[in-house]
Structure 1
Amino acid sequence: MPPLPAVSLKGRVSDSEWQLRVDLAACYRLVAHYGWDDTIYTHLSARLPGTDHYLVNAFGLTFDEVTASNLVKVDLKGTILDNSPFQINPAGFTIHSAIHEVRDDAHCVIHLHTPATIAVASLAGGLRPLSQYSMFSLPSLSYHQYEGLAVNDEEKARLQSDLGQNNHLLLVNHGGLTVGETVGDAFMRMFDLQRACEIQLLIQGSGQKAIEVAQPVQDGIYQQAKVVHSGSTGGQKAWPAMLRKAWRLDPGFAE
């Protein structure tokens, strides 16, 4: 088996681009570590500061092969902008480009096919207020109906409308999606959404009657979380710890 093409961009791009590459590559490795990846499929994308250019994974690499240097720079049409020896999955970038196109605040978009998010997204009742984790997602959660493989540009308008100004999206029969102003924000939102879905399935699988969180508590807990996390998500506090975890797992992501 031939080795992957050697690519090194350290010192060849701006400091801000390099830091974003490191953060996004770390996020890919963490997704793999938690078992949320789907072989070579699904994507995490991030907007380069002050541009309409984006970083996304090279098609054909598993998430534990992603590095800061082999992330591919593209525009909103998925056109490769640098001399990368890698290609991207155009169909996979359709969902990301749709969101980046209309959400200036969505600097990072994470879309995954985890069994838990697919299962809960496909339940008639969707995500229910059954755990503290669900409280972090429900106030900013919407749904998008399944239309087949995301290769139709006409679906983009419906996807944009369904997400609206929310930060969490469950794609029916398909998976989950979160957005954030930073990689850390998007990652922590996905962590909470994934955990909420896992807990709900455990509760529903028990066969016992579930106790839902009372509506007055639902109304207040999201604001409480903002105070506890010193911002809209735990990304500001938790991401540095997650980044340290990625370094401990394999510092090769930062090459």
Structure 2
Amino acid sequence: MYSLAPLSLKGKVSEIEWQTRVDLAACYRLVADMRWGDLIYTHISAKVPGTDHYLVNAFGLGFDEVTASNLVKVDLEGNILDDSPYQINPAGFTIHSAIHEVRHDAMCVIHLHTLATISVASVKGGLKPWSQYSLFSLPSLSYHSYEGLAVNDSEKKSLQDDLGDTNHMLLPNHGGLTVGPTVGDAFMRFYDLQRACEIQLALMQSNEEVIDIPQPIIDGIYQQASVVHSGETGGQKAWPAMLRKAYKLDPGFCE
């Protein structure tokens, strides 16, 4: 009850699946360190390259308990494919399977209930162009209205339609979501979205007049962001440093 049974899948899955497991487990540990978690109730998934299967956290484990081996592998119907003693969060299945089903470029999906993303998503007008961080998210930002606990298949279609081809999403009354072609890209996109929301929340609470960013500057940064935050200069460039941090926090995540 108070300790987890040891699990080890190293050498028992393909090399590419193992590396995906390590990256995803590291992401969970980093999210825990950033204090973006919500006990056991949010989720991050990563697709196993070359398959329609994805990895997600075991329902009931804290993010600081996630390891490469205790991640659960499921198919798009929610069937657990490995010999895991754990189950998955039904809401996590609805959200992540919906996105992986239609966004084949979205190898990683991060959905979190942070104070900042819930707050900004839930005010009229949503995210404002009030900081450099917001300008990284706004060109590819969508919204998905609250439909209650995401446990009904009926919500999958509206979620897919609302996300479209965007990479950042705010869910009013609910939280934030990002997708990416790698775990690193999805993580860095959520970092930008979270920072943008934190800054906006601080400015709103200040009750001071916000200095507007001129539209030509906004347009210019949109262009720059598409270069700076894509490919080797985006999440893929920052991820090795984040992975090193995860090892420093607790190398046990890669077991």
TM-score of the two chains, using structure 2 as the length reference: 0.97
Match of 1:54 in 2: 54
- CA–CA distance in 2 between the matches of 1:143 and 1:131? 19
- CA–CA distance in 1 between the matches of 2:97 and 2:220? 33
The Cα of 1:2 is off from its aligned counterpart by 4.1
Percent of counterpart pairs with the same letter?
76
- Specify whether residues 241 and 227 from structure 1 end up closer, same or farther in structure 2 by C-alpha distance, changes over 3 A only: same
* Secondary structure class of the residue paired with 1:110: strand
* Secondary structure class of the residue paired with 1:39: coil
The Cα of 1:125 is off from its aligned counterpart by 1.1
Report how many residues are paired. Answer: 255
The Cα of 1:229 is off from its aligned counterpart by 4.5
Match of 1:13 in 2: 13
Match of 1:213 in 2: 213
Match of 1:123 in 2: 123
Gaps of 5+ in 1: none
Query: In terms of mean alpha carbon deviation, does 206-215 or 172-181 score higher?
Result: 206-215
1:245 and 2:233 aligned: no
The Cα of 1:218 is off from its aligned counterpart by 1.6
The Cα of 1:87 is off from its aligned counterpart by 1.0
TM-score of the two chains, using structure 1 as the length reference: 0.97
The Cα of 1:222 is off from its aligned counterpart by 2.5
Cα deviations by residue, 1:18-74 (Å, 9 ceiling, x for unpaired): 100000000000000000000011100000011000000000000000000000000
1:175 and 2:148 aligned: no
Within a 5 Å distance, the mapping from 1:128-167 to structure 2 comes to 128-167=128-167
- CA–CA distance in 2 between the matches of 1:233 and 1:135? 17
The Cα of 1:232 is off from its aligned counterpart by 8.2
Q: What is the letter of the counterpart of residue 220 of structure 2?
A: G
- CA–CA distance in 1 between the matches of 2:49 and 2:250? 26
The Cα of 1:197 is off from its aligned counterpart by 0.1
After superposition, the CA RMSD in angstroms is: 1.2
- CA–CA distance in 1 between the matches of 2:78 and 2:201? 36
Cα deviations by residue, 1:80-109 (Å, 9 ceiling, x for unpaired): 001111111122211111111110000100
Query: In terms of mean alpha carbon deviation, does 218-227 or 139-148 score higher?
Result: 218-227
Match of 2:3 in 1: 3
1:34 and 2:31 aligned: no
The Cα of 1:78 is off from its aligned counterpart by 1.2
- CA–CA distance in 2 between the matches of 1:229 and 1:104? 20
Match of 2:67 in 1: 67
- CA–CA distance in 2 between the matches of 1:142 and 1:233? 24
Match of 2:23 in 1: 23
Q: What is the letter of the counterpart of residue 12 of structure 1?
A: K
* Secondary structure class of the residue paired with 2:231: coil
The Cα of 1:220 is off from its aligned counterpart by 1.8
* Secondary structure class of the residue paired with 1:198: helix
- Specify whether residues 232 and 161 from structure 1 end up closer, same or farther in structure 2 by C-alpha distance, changes over 3 A only: farther
Match of 2:110 in 1: 110
* Secondary structure class of the residue paired with 1:116: helix
- 4+ runs deviating over 3 angstroms: 226-230
